[in-house]
């Protein structure tokens, strides 16, 4: 396939746009105003892969074993893939959706969705929402962050986007911005969507500019899943962070299920109107944000875990810090990569009603305490991840996990059945984990061969209907101009 490059330099691609701050490990984001330091070395942790111990919060240490690797991260097989660049010239490509073969939709953080059809990348955006977003200059985890096509898009032309808007009138004055989830419409085979077809589905007040997560996806059950971060800043504390049940760390949205929708995986029904109970999907458009309160144009699945009990009904699972990217496996399991703070990155297989620990735990480790409980006051266990890796001292290490996919394609036989993922600071490599019946999954590095520079930063993954994988990358942590690219993975 011929590589296509955007030939114009976008006026909206402002210098300094970056995917750092809360995403990149957040070891130094104490004030919520950005990275607060060198994003390549957060909180002074070891980053060169050399044998070391990693100082974890609360005085705990994660000690490398005899060969310089942390437990569960020793190389267990020699894996190599080949990366073919298929598109480039983006500011910061954060998501990739492929509703059918031959049509790839690439989400650029600056506010545009671009269509690549039969190998040709269209210069005019499929959709541009930059006029309704906050300014995403400087260090920013805000912008256009997620895209999901309705399972029946070929018939109804409905798709959903997640972006960061200025604070609505109802948002507290000391908050940062508004999380917006909206529905748009397009003719299924069209080259552009109708920007005036927007129907606001959900809004959430965001206290800080970081820890926004951003991914959205339809599950095999037909419901829309939405990832939300804990609201920003370090330790899940500060303005906009409510009180919770755990006294060792003061407050935290991750452990709260009654006051807000932050630090959670949400599940909503976008095919039923919340007020009338009738199916949605008419002409679309017309619903805009008001001043009375956040939009709630959706229904709640009857089997969401907190329906009929104390808690917000949208909640599907909670205890997350910054669940940046997630995916569904071929068997329907939900894999969520949750970005850690100062010491550990993690991936969990998420189940309905599960509590995944933050800010009581970071990975499998107590956070800012020598000892911590294994369950919440409700008696729900704090579930451990299936994958974790440290911020230094191991072959598999990094500063911000980027969730990927359980591979079931044909192009790379050696990866079949493996979970392929990455760290934001990938350094020209990927990671793969092998499932085990219990305990942490063994995880190894995957070498990447390419005729072009691959990364060195990885922002996201994409999957086509045949199960083959794509990777969205950037050439620099300080993203500006046109350094973003999309690669297709094949066998080496």
Residue 136, phi then psi, degrees to nearest 5: -110, 35
CA-based nearest residue to 346, from 418, 425, 401, 383: 401
Position 279 scores a pLDDT of: 62
Q: How many other CB atoms are found less than 10 A from the CB of residue 285?
A: 14
| Residue 198 confidence (pLDDT) | 98
Task: Give the per-residue pLDDT at 31.
Answer: 42
Main-chain dihedrals φ then ψ at residue 57, nearest 5 degrees: -55, 150
- Give the separation between CA 112 and CA 124, rounded to whole angstroms: 9
Nearest 5°: phi and psi at 132? -115, 15
State residue 291's pLDDT score.
Answer: 56
The per-residue b/e assignment along 87-103, b for 16 or more CB within 10 angstroms, e otherwise, is: bbbbbbbbbbbbbeeeb
Written as six digits, the tokens of 10 are 């976008």
Q: Which of 160, 152, 167, 153 is nearest to 183 (CA)?
A: 160
Residue 118, pLDDT score: 87
Contact (CB, 8 A) for 32 and 233: yes
Instruction: Kindly give, in sequence order, each residue whose CB lies less than 8 Å from that of residue 319, ignoring residues fewer than 6 positions away.
Output: 254, 255, 263, 354, 355, 356, 357, 358, 360, 382, 383
Q: Which residues contact 85 (CB under 8 A, 6 or more apart)?
A: 3, 450, 451, 452, 485, 486, 487
pLDDT at 247: 87
Of 277, 151, 166, nearest in space to 224 by CA: 151
What are the residues facing 61 on neighbouring strands?
A: 55
CATH classification for the domain delimited by 4-63+100-419, as one of 3.30.70.240, 3.30.450.20, 2.120.10.30, 3.40.50.1370: 2.120.10.30
Please list the pLDDT of the chain residue by residue as tens digits (492 residues). 445 444 433 333 333 334 444 455 554 444 433 332 333 322 333 233 322 333 332 222 333 343 334 555 555 678 999 999 999 999 999 999 999 999 999 999 999 999 999 889 999 999 999 999 998 876 779 999 999 999 999 999 999 999 999 999 999 999 999 999 999 999 999 999 999 999 999 999 999 999 999 999 999 999 999 999 999 999 999 899 999 999 888 889 999 999 999 999 999 999 987 555 556 554 444 444 445 789 999 999 999 999 999 999 999 999 999 999 999 999 999 999 999 999 999 999 999 999 999 999 999 999 999 999 999 998 889 999 999 999 987 889 999 999 999 999 999 999 999 999 999 998 889 999 999 999 999 999 999 999 999 989 999 999 999 999 999 999 877 657 888 999 999 998
Q: Where are the domains of the chain?
A: 4-63+100-419
- How far apart CA 110 and CA 120 sit, in angstroms, is 21
Ramachandran area for residue 128 (φ above 0: left; ψ -120 to 50: alpha; else beta): beta
């Amino acid at each position: 396939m011929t590589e296509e490059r955007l030939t114009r330099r976008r006026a909206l691609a402002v210098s300094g746009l970056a995917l750092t701050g809360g995403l990149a490990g957040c070891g130094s984001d104490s004030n919520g105003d950005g990275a607060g330091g060198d994003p390549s070395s957060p909180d002074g942790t070891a980053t060169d892969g050399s044998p070391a111990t990693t100082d974890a919060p609360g005085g705990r240490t994660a000690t490398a074993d005899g060969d310089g690797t942390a437990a569960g991260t020793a190389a267990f097989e020699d894996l190599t893939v080949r990366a073919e660049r298929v598109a480039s010239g983006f500011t910061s490509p954060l998501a990739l959706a492929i509703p059918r073969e031959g049509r790839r939709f690439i989400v650029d953080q600056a506010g545009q969705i671009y269509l690549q059809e039969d190998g040709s990348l269209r210069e005019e955006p499929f959709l541009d929402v930059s006029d309704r977003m906050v300014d995403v200059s400087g260090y920013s985890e805000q912008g256009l962050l997620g895209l999901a096509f309705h399972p029946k898009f070929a018939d109804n032309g409905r798709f959903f986007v997640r972006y960061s808007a200025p604070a609505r009138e109802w948002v507290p004055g000391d908050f940062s911005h508004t999380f917006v989830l909206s529905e748009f419409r397009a003719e299924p085979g069209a080259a552009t969507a109708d920007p005036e077809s927007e129907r606001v589905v959900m809004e959430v007040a965001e206290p800080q500019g970081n820890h926004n997560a951003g991914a959205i996806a339809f599950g095999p059950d037909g419901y829309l899943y939405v990832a939300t971060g804990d609201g920003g800043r370090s330790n899940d504390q500060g303005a906009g962070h409510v009180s919770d049940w755990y006294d060792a760390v003061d407050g935290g949205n991750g452990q709260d299920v009654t006051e807000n929708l932050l630090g959670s995986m949400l599940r909503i029904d976008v095919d039923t109107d919340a007020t009338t109970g009738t199916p949605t999907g008419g002409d679309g458009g017309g619903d805009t944000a008001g001043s009375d309160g956040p939009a709630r144009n959706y229904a709640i699945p009857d089997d969401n875990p907190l329906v009929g009990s104390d808690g917000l009904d949208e909640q599907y699972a909670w205890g997350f810090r910054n669940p940046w990217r997630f995916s569904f496996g071929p068997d329907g399991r939900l894999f969520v990569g949750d970005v850690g703070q100062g010491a550990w990155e993690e991936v969990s297989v998420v189940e309905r009603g599960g509590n995944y620990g933050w800010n009581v735990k970071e990975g499998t480790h107590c956070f800012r305490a020598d000892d911590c409980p294994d369950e919440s006051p409700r008696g729900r266990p704090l579930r451990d991840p299936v994958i974790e890796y440290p911020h230094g001292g191991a072959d598999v290490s990094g500063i911000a996990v980027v969730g990927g996919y359980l591979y079931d394609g044909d192009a790379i036989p050696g990866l079949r059945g493996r979970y392929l993922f990455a760290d934001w600071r990938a350094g020209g490599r990927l990671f793969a984990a092998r499932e085990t019946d219990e305990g942490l999954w063994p995880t190894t590095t995957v070498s990447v061969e390419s005729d072009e520079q691959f990364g060195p930063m990885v922002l996201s993954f994409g999957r086509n209907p045949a199960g083959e994988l794509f990777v969205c990358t950037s050439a620099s942590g300080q993203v500006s101009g046109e350094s973003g690219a999309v690669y297709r993975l094949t066998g080496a």
